[in-house]
Amino acid sequence: MKLTKLLLSAAVIGLFASVGANAKNMNDQVVPTKHNKNMTLGQIADITPGLGTVMIEYGHRFYLAYYAAKAGNWGLANYEVKEQTEIQEVGEITRPGHAEALKAFEHTYLDPILADIKAKDWNSFAAHYAAAEQGCNDCHAATNHAFIKYRLPTHAPDSVPSVVW
């Protein structure tokens, strides 16, 4: 996540630098990185994650939030949902055509889940989670990805470092 944010920041900085320098081809504009390796904006764009990559982490955190809340670990549930919104920001930046739908999902489904977490209300959380699961699948269908169906795994993960279920 930090590398992704670093690369996106570098791309933005490079973009403004290249515009100011009247670069002939912005994809060839070289940007220094934190690791002493220069990269072109084109190279950075090529490794920028798409929504498929973002959604893998998004779904994993969604799953962890459910089992954390079920176990009464409300702090972890809150953390995982907040992390969902952070990784979603990457998707909003890298795939701006989907930004409005991502924000709508956040406000429609994640905001009520966060309120349930704050209230430590398992029953409301479970109902809102089920609605969000359906919302995921409705969104996939609306974007011609109906073959992607989110289903909550039937068990908490066996091993997550530093997590007590």
Quick: pLDDT tens for 65-110.
999 999 999 999 999 999 999 999 999 998 999 999 999 999 999 9
Looking at the 3D structure of the chain, how many domains does it have? Answer: 2
Banded model confidence at residue 1, pLDDT cuts 50, 70, 90: low
| pLDDT over 90 (residue 156) | no
Quick: pLDDT tens for 110-143.
999 999 999 999 999 999 999 999 999 999 999 9
Task: Give, in order, the Cα–Cα distances in Å from 88 to each of 6, 106, 118, 145.
Answer: 16, 9, 21, 18
pLDDT for position 31:
84
62 and 78 inside one domain: yes
pLDDT for position 8:
54
20: containing domain: 2-47
Is the distance from CB of 92 to CB of 98 less than 8 angstroms? yes
Task: Give, in order, the Cα–Cα distances in Å from 83 to each of 10, 55, 100.
Answer: 22, 12, 19
134 and 74 inside one domain: yes
User: What pTM did the predictor assign?
Assistant: 0.74
Structure tokens at 160: 């997550």
43 and 108 inside one domain: no
58 and 130 inside one domain: yes
Quick: pLDDT tens for 5-62.
545 555 555 554 544 444 458 888 888 888 878 888 888 888 888 899 999 999 999 9
